[in-house]
Structure 1
Amino acid sequence: MSDSGEKIYLAKFLSVNGAASRRRAAELVRAGRVAVNGVTVDNPADPVPPAAEVRLDGRVVAPLGRRHYVMLNKPRGYVCTNEDIHAARKALDLIALPGVRLVSAGRLDKESDGLLLFSDDGDFIYRVAHPKFEILKVYEVATGRPLPDRALRRLRGGIVDAGEFLQPHSLEPVGPAVYRVVLNEGRKREIRRLIAAAGGKVVRLTRLSVGHLTLGGLPAGCWRELSSREVEEALRPGLPELGRSDRVAES
C-alpha cells in the first residue's frame, strides 16, 4: 500500500518506482521475475503489502525519491531502447544522469528525430503513452513530393495495414511536400506506413510536441530536465501553438 493507505498493485509498484514501464512491468511479473517477501508472484494485479520487500531479478526495487523528467531532441541514427546491448547508438546515451533509470515515454524510430521524453516516473510514462488520456503528439513530415489529395482523404479516413487499423488524428499540408501529422495512439512506424500507403516516401520525420510541450528551440542531441509546469504541459490534452522556435522538417 502507499503511505495514504491506498492499495498499490504490483505492476504499478514496479512502474512508479522506476523498474519498468507499466506494460513492461506486467510482462516481467508474468514471466516470474518478481518476488514479494521472498515469494515469486506472477499476477501483476496482486496488491503489494505495506513495507513489503519487492525484488526484480533478485534486486530490491526501492521506492524512489525525487522523480526525473527529461526532454531530449533525439537526432536521427539513435534508437530508443533500454535493453538492446548491441545497439550502437542509444538515445539514452545522450542523457547524463548517472544512477537514474530512465524509460522513454513512447518511441521514435532510428530514422526519426525530435522531441522524446524520458522519466523514472512510471505513471507519467503511462499517461503520456496510453491513448485513453488523449495526449496528442505532433509530427512534421517531409515527403519529397506532394501526396495526391485523394490519397490524403483516404489516410484521414483510416487504412488497414498488416492487420492494423491506422488513422491519424489529423493530417494537413503545411508547405510544399511537408505535412503536419497528429497522432493520439502511435503504432509502430505508423506515419511511415501511412505515407507509404499513399504512394509516398518519408524523407524526414520530426516530432515537434507531446501534449502542450514543444521542443522550444532545444538543439539536436541536447537534453534538459523539465520543470513541474512543463510536466503538466506534457500531460495536457489538446494541441499546442507551435511558434517559430519549433523545428520544421527539412526536405
Structure 2
Amino acid sequence: MLKRLNKYISDTGFCSRREADKLIEQGRVLVNGKAPELGTKIGEDDIVSVDKKPVRAVPQNKSDRVYLAYHKPVGVICTTERKVKGNIVDAVNFKQRIFPIGRLDKPSEGLILLTNDGDIVNKILRAENAHEKQYRVNVNKPITPRFIKRMSSGVPILDTVTLPCKVTQIGKTSFDIVLTQGLNRQIRRMCEYLGFEVTKLVRKRIMHISLGSLKAGQYRELSAEELNKLNQAVQHSSKVASK
C-alpha cells in the first residue's frame, strides 16, 4: 500500500505531517537517494531519509508509539527545533523522539500532549472536531458579568469572531474557559480586546485528559483507559482540514 511522503515520515514518529512538509520543501528529504517530486508516494521497498539519515516505517500495530501528558512550564517553547533555546524536546528529555500535539505559548503553562504517532496529531488539532480544551486564567483586574458574557458570546480577533464558549468565574480575578478553537494567542487576544490583561494562563484539560497533580516540568504516560478514550474520540475525526 502506497503512502504520501509526508504521511510516511510522520507515521515513523520523526515529526508531524506539517513539519514533514517543511522538511520536504527545504530539500532535506531524499527517496532512494534522490530529491522527491511533488506528490511522491512511498512503497515498502523505498528508502526515505531525512538529512541523509534513514527513517524507518512504523510497525502495523504501533507498538513503538509513545503518548505523554506533560505540564509545560512558563518559558518552554513548543518547537522541536533543537537549536531554539528552551525547546520542548530538550525540556522533556525523553528517550525517544517525540513532538507536541498543538501549542502553548511561551508565557503560558499547563497540559500539552506529546507523541511520536503522527497519524493522531491532525485528528486532534482540527477545530471542526470540537475537541475541548479547558484553561484557568487570571487577569489584572476584577471580572465583571459583562466580561463573562462577552467572552462566552464571541470576541472579534484576527479578522474573525471567536466561537461561543463556556466561561465560568472562579475568583475575583480568575475564570475557567473551555475552547474548541486554537487561534494564535486566542485567550490573551480576547481579554485584551475587552480591556483585560492575562497575568497567568494554565491549560488544565485536553478532551478527557486532565493535568491532575502533575507539577511544572513533570510528565507521565497516558493510561490505557485514557488512550482508548482518545482513539475512540478521534476515530471519526477528519485528518485534513475541511474546505
TM-score (norm 1): 0.82
SS at match of 1:116: strand
Question: Which of residues 150, 154, 161 in structure 1 aligns to 2:150?
Answer: 154
Match for residue 221 of structure 1?
217
Distance 1:228 1:38 in 2: 40
Partner of residue 28, structure 1: 23
Q: Shift of the alpha carbon at 1:236?
A: 5.9
Q: Deviation per CA, 1:58-114, whole angstroms, max 9, x where unpaired?
A: 221112451111111112122212115242x3333332422x111101111111111
Q: Counterparts of 1:139 and 1:183 in 2: how far apart (Å)?
A: 8
Distance 2:192 2:164 in 1: 14
Q: Give TM-score scaled by structure 2 length.
A: 0.84
Change (3 A) 1:10 1:187: same
Match of residue 14, structure 1, among 9, 13, 17: 9
Distance 1:24 1:86 in 2: 16
Aligned partners of 2:139 and 2:200 also within 8 Å: yes
Structure 1 residue ranges without an equivalent (≥5)? 2-6, 239-251
The answer to whether the 8 Å contact 2:81/2:87 transfers is no
Q: State how far apart, in whole Å, the 2-side matches of 1:191 and 1:234 are.
A: 25
Identity %: 31
2:76 alignment counterpart: 78
Separation (CA, whole Å) in 2 of partners of 1:92 and 1:168? 34
Taking the aligned partners of 1:237 and 1:149, their CA distance within structure 2 comes to 34
Equivalent residue pairs, number? 230
Structure 2 gap segments, 5+ residues each: 235-243
Hey, what does 2:35 align to over in structure 1? 40
Instruction: Give per-residue Cα distances to partners, 1:20-53, cap 9 Å, x unaligned.
Output: 212222232234332222232242x432122211
CA distance in 1, matches of 2:232, 2:175: 23
| Cα distance in 1 for residues equivalent to 2:34 and 2:190 | 47
Matched, 1:68 2:62: no
8 Å CA contact retained: 1:156, 1:171: yes
Letter in 2 for 1:38: G
Question: Letter of the aligned partner of 1:155 in structure 2?
Answer: M
**Counterpart-to-counterpart distance in 1, 2:156 and 2:149:** 14
Relative distance call for 1:141 and 1:230 in structure 2 (3 A) is: same
Q: Which residue of 2 aligns with 1:142?
A: 138
Q: Name the aligned partner's letter for residue 33 of structure 2.
A: G
